[in-house]
Amino acid sequence: MPTRPLLVKYETPVLLSEVKHKKALKEKKRVAVGAQSGPQAEDVLYSIIPPREFEENGQQWVQYVSSIPATRMDVINLQERLDSLLLERNARETGICPVREELYSQVFDELIRQVTVNCAERGLLLLRVRDELRMTLDAYRSLYESSAAYGMRKALQAEQSKIEMESKIQALEREKEELKQQVEELEYRCESIIQQEKEKFAEAERKHNEEVAFFRRTYQTLTTNLQTLCNATKA
């Protein structure tokens, strides 16, 4: 037997063959009495919450939602059962929670059942409200999922861009180190050239000074010799 909703009240399961026989008898009675005006509560109830069919021990069974009116105690028990299941299944109090959504959906179905038993028209109106809420919730869920998927794509793109940017940064860092090394080599070469030029200039200046000193000594010697010769001639 499949697990049935925990908060919606159902009748005891019966064999499908018996149900078909009872339906046939009921239809004959309706034809004999004549068409009745307005929807029947049970028909509306079964259209709102369809019967559950299942197979067990090779036989087909069907289980209808209960058509017994709810009492005040039934409503109190429903609330207590809801609170108990919320705690038992660790439903979150806020945010999106599938467990909480499922349990409150069952409670809404049970309340629709209770109202429909007493007034089919109010039950149909509540059905429209329920379906509208579900469509709105589905729309929000679809929007959330598409937004989450979009956010995930953007996150992946950002991660990919981050990886590419880190790769570019590493390449630029390597290029910077290479350029830095080249600058250091050029600075060393410039310093070497400057030092060599300084040494060449110092050597040239030294030679120039030596030549000047030599010429001065030569000039003094020649001058002295010339004066000596001149004095000797006069004597």
Contacts for 51-56: CB closer than 8 Å, 24+ residues apart: 52/2, 52/4, 52/10, 53/16, 54/1, 54/2, 54/13, 56/1
For residue 179, name the pLDDT band (cuts at 50, 70, 90).
Answer: very high
Highest mean pLDDT among 13-27, 164-178, 218-232 belongs to 164-178
Please, what is the average pLDDT of the chain?
A: 86
N-term to C-term CA, the chain: 161
Q: For the stretch 31-52, what's the b/e string if a residue is b when 16 or more beta carbons lie within 10 angstroms of its beta carbon?
A: eeeeeeeeeebeebbeebbeeb
For the residues 181-208, what does the mean pLDDT come to? 94
Q: Are 10 and 54 contacting, i.e. CB atoms less than 8 angstroms apart?
A: no
What's the pLDDT tens digit per position in 73-109? 999 999 999 999 999 999 998 888 889 999 999 999 9
Model confidence at 4: pLDDT above 70: no
What's the pLDDT tens digit per position in 116-137? 998 888 988 999 999 999 999 8
* Domain boundaries of the chain, sorted by first residue: 12-117
Which has the closest alpha carbon to 6: 92, 104, 73? 104
